[in-house]
Amino acid sequence: MANLPRRVRICEEGPREGFQMEPPTIATAEKIRLIEALAGTGLGDIACCSFVSPTRVPQMADAEAIVAGIHRRPGVRYTGLWLNRAGFERAEATSLDLNGLIVASASETFGIRNNNRDREGMRNGQRELMAAYGKARVTTIAGYVFTAFGCNYEGPISPDKVVAAVEDILTVTSEAGVLPEVVYLCDTVGAATPVTVERAIGTVRDRWPDLPLGLHLHDTRGIGMANALVGLQLGIDRFDTSIGGLGGCPFAGNRAAAGNLCTEDLAYLCEEMGIETGVDLDALIDAANLAESIVGHPLPGKLRQVGRPAR
């Protein structure tokens, strides 16, 4: 465990990716209440909403209203997601903190099915976004590689395909004279295992030893925390998580599949391993209880249910 990071940065995805898997009846005020509770836990990055088609994702039809209603806490970055230039322009018109997003898919079939674009089409779409970021003076860019560990259409994903997707991201950003702050390897369909996580990270690092990497993991088949542990042992210090395990995995082929890695469970693991997170675990547990009360059904997170062990 010599490569364990000293500190881990957790980006909270519950208000965005989590609520997107819930019915579109959750009140805007309740979404804001959870965001503000999360901001009081010490989390520095909270993904609040998505600027996507309200027809396709009615759960996020109130994105602008969510942003407008937040009472911001100093030191917290309130971010969002978009998939194209129109979505970015909607986000730009709000008071969100704008982190540029550049994406690629290790599975070209997934990119075609999900984004209606092949690999070249994806690159061109990201070039349009980079032009928009330049115009808006957005200089903080994060890359995301979808289906880095497996695909429902193509099956297992070879590390070479992950490298090709990372290369697409770096090509698009370098053309604009920008380097991404981090590139996340995403377990989009919940197919990752400790072996594939280690293999993908190792292969990418062989090609780009100094490229900062993060993990966007799902707990679809119950081994999300094992995958996170491998990432920690390899020095990964950025993770996307969801409070209480809120949400699901829309691409798993099973509506009962668990969603993102649970925020408070990962924070607890880090605390027990001596890794700093900057978060208050008790406050996170309170936020997870709030999330469960808002959605009205049990959430899968473990720490919230049993608490910390006696000392």
| 255 has a pLDDT exceeding 80 | no
Q: Which residues pair with 77 in a beta bridge?
A: 45
> Is 249 one of the annotated active-site residues of the chain?
yes
Q: Distance (Å, rounded) from C-alpha 257 to C-alpha 249?
A: 6
Euclidean distance between CA atoms 154 and 147, whole angstroms:
10
Cα separation values, 84 from 98, 100, 104, 261, Å: 14, 11, 13, 26
Q: Which residues contact 152 (CB under 8 A, 6 or more apart)?
A: 110, 189, 251, 252, 253
Residue from 186, 249, 262, 270 carrying the catalytic annotation: 249
Section 301-307 average pLDDT: 94
Alpha-carbon dihedral angle through residues 231, 237, 242, 248, given to the nearest 10 degrees: -30
Nearest to 221 by CA among 150, 288, 126, 164: 150
Q: Residue 306: exposed, middle, or buried by beta-carbon count in 10 A (0-12, 13-18, 19+)?
A: exposed
| pTM of this structure | 0.96
DSSP string, 101-158: EEEEESSHHHHHHHHS--HHHHHHHHHHHHHHHHHHT---EEEEEETSS-BTTTBS--
What's the confidence (pLDDT) of residue 172? 97
Closest CA to 30 of 311, 302, 276, 290: 290
Q: What's the token pair of residue 39?
A: 């901001």
**DSSP line for 152-181:** TTTBS--HHHHHHHHHHHHHHHHHTT---S
CB 259 within 8 A of CB 17: yes
What is the rounded distance in angstroms from the CA atom of residue 149 to the CA atom of residue 171? 22
Cα(11)–Cα(99) distance, integer angstroms = 12
Task: Calculate what percentage of the chain has a pLDDT beyond 90.
Answer: 90
Helical packing angle, 194-207 and 159-175, nearest 10°: 40
Confidence label for 257 from pLDDT (cuts 50, 70 and 90): low
- pLDDT classification of 53: cutoffs 50, 70, 90: very high
Distance in angstroms (rounded) separating the CA atoms of residues 243 and 292 = 9
Instruction: Please tell me the predicted confidence (pLDDT) of residue 44.
Output: 97
Q: How many CB atoms lie within 10 A of CB 11?
A: 24
Q: Give per-residue pLDDT as tens, 168-187.
A: 999 999 999 999 999 999 99
